[in-house]
Amino acid sequence: MAGSFEGKVALVTGGGTGVGAAIALQLAGQGARVIISGRRADVLAKTAAKSALIVPIAADVTDAAASKHLFEQIGSQLDIVIANAGAAESAPFHRLDLKTWKNQIDLNLTGVFTTFHHALPAMMQVNSGRLIAIASTAGLKGYAYVSAYTAAKHGVVGLTRALALELAKTGITVNAICPGFVDTPMLDHSIETIIRKTGKSRAEAVTALAASNPQKRLIQPDEVAQTVLWLCGPNSDSINGQAISISGGEI
């Protein structure tokens, strides 16, 4: 597949670390010009330094004006869009305040909306493109103590399915990728919470998180990135409106 995306332009939101960085590096490795966005310019710069084909642009996808400006900077060509920006905050539902609820919905669901909404005009001009949301197994089942995150990810899956039907007669496909617990810096927050609240060791905390996966392991970022390459590659035109679980059989 080397060079199979030469001439393509891709955007990866939340592209500075974890899954987003892995996706950006994989796409750039196949020849795509990749724009990565996120809130932290310094983090984006570190990932961009790993490939001459990666361009960092700091932007907050939950801010409509900032999101619009991001796409104005990208220009008229945009072949692949990966809506990856997101984060999880945990709390029992009875302690969940409205501010946290709104923040989780804004980042994990509204951020996908603004990203797809601003990306679509360029794709419709050429009747071609790939829209991919990085959702979660939380969009396919329930998880305790992350009700806001789970609700948002269910919304992402619903948005994906609805938009895929709207665009089914075009050359644009819309899909969601739903990983289980992924070995990323974002997961470190959950691990630290388990350690703090239960007194478990780090190894025990990781084992507890991996227990939901029948393979008893964490998903690796490159496994998600490889799925992105498949969805964006040749012979994937009929893969549309799907929520693809990467979870070792959990879903």
Question: Helices 18-29 & 221-232, crossing angle to 10 degrees?
Answer: 50
**What strands lie across the sheet with 172-179, from one edge to the other?**
54-58, 33-38, 9-13, 80-83, 129-134, 172-179, 243-246
| CA triple 90-92-94, angle to 5 deg | 135
Q: Is 145 a catalytic residue?
A: no
Catalytic residue (choose from 5, 71, 116, 149): 149
Dihedral in degrees, nearest 10, Cα atoms 208, 212, 215, 220: -80
| H/E stretch holding 244 | strand 243-246
Question: Which one-letter amino acid corresponds to residue 17?
Answer: T
Sign of the torsion angle spanned by Cα atoms 98, 181, 248, 30? positive
Catalytic residue positions, numbered: 149
